[in-house]
């Protein structure tokens, strides 16, 4: 049998090193709208893989891509200290 990976990692790292820090959790929470937009874009791309690209499909793809760009812009404005523009 293979050893339990958590035990192997735990033998090298302390329990506190296995958990994300508050700063890491805050960074993930700040990036969550971008992560969700990228997942939605990926879902659209996967859905369009096995069917011909129609006008509706192109519209879905463009809309999802615009959401990713908007989320990136907002994240960049927040992390650079700029003011948020809606």
* Chain-centre distance for alpha carbon 65: 14
The pLDDT tens digits for 72-85 are 999 999 888 755 55
pTM of full prediction above 0.75: no
* Helix (H), strand (E), coil (C) string for the chain: CCCCHHHHHHHHCCHHHHCCCHHHHHHHHHHHHHHHHHHHHHHHHHHCCCCCCCHHHHHHHHHHHHHHHHHHHHHHHHHCCCCCCC
Instruction: Tell me the C-alpha distance between 12 and 6, whole Å.
Output: 10
pLDDT digits (tens, 9 = 90+) for 23-49: 999 999 999 999 999 999 999 999 999
In this prediction, residue 57 has a pLDDT band, given cuts at 50, 70 and 90, of very high
């Amino acid at each position: 049998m293979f050893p339990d990976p958590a035990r192997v990692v735990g033998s090298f790292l302390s329990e506190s090193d296995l958990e994300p820090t508050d700063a890491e959790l805050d960074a993930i929470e700040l990036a969550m709208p971008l992560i969700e937009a990228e997942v939605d874009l990926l879902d659209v791309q996967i859905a369009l893989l096995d069917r011909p690209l129609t006008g509706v499909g192109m519209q879905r793809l463009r809309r999802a891509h615009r959401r990713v760009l908007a989320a990136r812009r907002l994240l960049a404005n927040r992390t650079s200290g700029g003011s948020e523009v809606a």
